[in-house]
Amino acid sequence: MKSLQEILKNHYYQGWYPKWIRNNHWNWQTIYGDFRRGLASVKEIQRVENTPAIIVGSGPSLDDAIPYLGDWEHAIFCGPTNALALEARGIHPNYLHAYDSHHTNAERLKYTWDYSITSLITHPSADPKILKAWKGRRYYFLRMFPEHEYFEYILPMAWSHIYKDRGIDVIFPFRGCVVNNEIAIAGYLGYNPLFLVGADFGWKDPAKTRHTTYTQDGRGGLKVAPMTHEDDMGAEINISPNGTHYVGKDDDFKRHLLDMLGPIPTDVFDCSDGMVTELKKADIREVIERQGKDYHYSLEEKGQMRREILDFLRSKH
């Protein structure tokens, strides 16, 4: 177990730990109220069995896939940024996942959502503005950083019994980014197979480093937001063997993804166009046409995938 003193040597944790601790205190009354009113834990979402779902990322290939997603008849998991891109095309996601704690997500959640379709999934460490901005149903889990006493022991004790005998008792380890955690949640709920859309973890066209993003226009609608480029942020740009440009965090996101997928039984197919080459590819147009039916890995394909994952993970040590 890492000591807090050791953890806070990391500049990322120096900035975020005080905010996470404050957020857990400030969110108590809101989450207590949610539990008093009814469903509140991810555990209480109705589970499914062998039902496909789409996981949406923020890579540039999402733009090519969005025109087809309106015909999808099953669940869609996404984050606040790419959710607005879906909404701009009249597509309502089922689960909007506010994984990042940053307060900027609150502004995106002030959009006029169809709360009969879309529910929010988040955690007590999120900025309180995120919870207050969402007027629909909220479901909670605990985000856990392995070997961090605060996340492994203190928060589970604090949140396990909130109202009567109910509390937040579903814990997901930190997986680096929204897409990876969406995979974990969707798999926990029984969705299988899963189809990754826009999970590029990089870009191939330097003029377009992410999908077309949207912001609210002040009149209840959405407008295209200015495109930001990784090149403009001073980040060091790398190139993967398949020609995908990426920054260091993208490589880390891929490592978390593959580290998670190796042992889990869920079949995950990649409909994206980025740096992940270890997963079986699928054409999103065909996936939509077949509504995700009859997609699976053979034992040989699963074995090959795991060997390629192990090769990649070994290369990072």
What does residue 206 show for φ and ψ, rounded to 5 degrees?
-60, -20
Largest CA distance in the chain: 54
Q: What is the pLDDT of residues 26-35, one digit of tens each?
A: 999 999 999 9
Q: What are phi and psi of 294, to 5 degrees?
A: 65, 35
Q: At what angle do helices 80-87 and 62-69 cross, to 10 degrees?
A: 50
- Please give the Cα distance from 196 to 32 (Å, whole number): 34
* φ, ψ (nearest 5 deg) of residue 277: -115, -5
pLDDT, average across residues 77-84: 94
Which token pair is 251?
């490589």
* Residues pairing with 139 in the sheet: 121
* Mean pLDDT score of the chain: 92
**Which range marks the domain in which residue 221 is found?**
4-315
**Count of all residues that appear for the chain in the document:** 317
Residue-wise pLDDT tens digits, 52-63: 999 999 999 999
Domain count, the chain: 1
Q: Is 211 exposed, middle or buried (0-12, 13-18, 19+ CB in 10 A)?
A: buried
pLDDT at 230: 54
113 CB burial (10 A radius; 0-12, 13-18, 19+) = buried
Positive or negative: CA dihedral 151, 154, 155, 157: positive
pLDDT of 195-249, one tens digit each?
999 999 999 988 888 999 999 888 888 999 877 655 545 678 899 999 999 988 8
DSSP string, 285-317: HHHHHHTTTT----HHHHHHHHHHHHHHHHHT-
pTM of the model: 0.94
Nearest to 202, CA basis, from 51, 60, 39: 60
Judge whether residue 67 has pLDDT over 70. yes
* Amino acid found at 232: D
Question: Residue 51 contacts by C-beta under 8 Å, 6 or more apart in sequence?
Answer: 74, 75, 190, 191, 192
